[in-house]
Amino acid sequence: MDKAISKKIIKLLSQRYGSINPDLKYIDLYQLTIAVVLSAQTTDKQVNSVTPILFGKYPDFKSLSGAKIKEITKIIRSTGFYRNKSKNIIELSKIITKQHKGIVPDNMKELIKLPGIGRKSANVILSIGFKKPALAVDTHVARITKRLGYTLSHNPVEVERDVTAIIPRTDWIKAHLLFIKHGREICKARKPLCRECAVNSLCPDTHNIPYRP
DNA sequence: ATCCCGAGGG
DNA sequence: CCCTCTGGAT
């Protein structure tokens, strides 16, 4: 449970998957924040298919704050949960425009007050948007660190703290992306492909899971 | 069928 | 802790 081992894991995952570049196509905090809200329970592909249209028509918080829910649902429909998301991003835009002078807050306390922003989304905004050493402990990160024996708690805040403590501060974005890829492709929730796992030699779970071709 | 870089509410 | 919200990919 120390940084040396986490560094080793990150290194092994990098060797396996190559260097993954953080997706920094969102040119400003407005785009990043909205994209993060839209990303809940869907894939990048879906989000990327609607953001050009959305950002083309609503380039900033102010314009989005004046939009109608119906117009937004029409655009973001394919990302799922579209009624919640539409309502949330309009309301969020209003709050940021009126209460934060159009500036996205740079701390957890204020971010999670915004509709549609929870701990995970807030951490993505803090790390990618503000370059802070925040790590979004999503389902993949939580699952992988738990299987590796790094986290024992069920409390999400404690898990987040434990995980953040072991990830090198210079590598948090890369680490996050590696964990996501690894979690989706190999260390899956069900039927993990332990035989193909780049870090199986470090994983106590591996030996209990039979390999099925 | 099952899952997705979740959030909000009871 | 539980449940609901939703389309799309596999």
* A208 band by pLDDT with thresholds 50, 70 and 90: low
Residue A21: the pLDDT is: 67
Q: For strand C, give the nucleotides within 7 A of a protein CB.
A: 1, 5-9
Report which of residues 6-25 in chain A place their beta carbon less than 7 angstroms from any atom of strand B: 23
**What is the rounded average pLDDT of the residues A92-97?**
96
Residue A213: the pLDDT is: 40
Can you give the distance from the CA of residue A134 to the C1' of nucleotide C10 in angstroms? 32
pLDDT in tens, A113-171: 999 999 989 988 998 889 887 877 888 888 888 888 888 887 888 888 888 887 777 67
Can you give the distance from the CA of residue A4 to the C1' of nucleotide C7 in angstroms? 42
Q: Is the C-beta of residue A82 closer than 7 Å to nucleic acid chain C?
A: yes
pLDDT in tens, A192-204: 888 889 998 888 8
CA distance A27 to A155: 34
Q: Is the C-beta of residue A88 closer than 7 Å to nucleic acid chain B?
A: yes
User: Which among A143, A115, A137 has a CA at the least distance from the CA of A124?
Assistant: A137
> HSE-up of A90 (CA within 13 Å, CB side)?
15
DSSP state of A197: -
Q: For strand B, give the nucleotides within 7 A of a protein CB.
A: 2-8
Report which of residues 109-168 in chain A place their beta carbon less than 7 angstroms from any atom of strand B: 112, 114-122, 124, 136, 138-140
CA distance A98 to A51: 24
3-state secondary structure at position A84:
helix
Residue A4: the pLDDT is: 81
Q: Is the C-beta of residue A40 closer than 7 Å to nucleic acid chain B?
A: yes
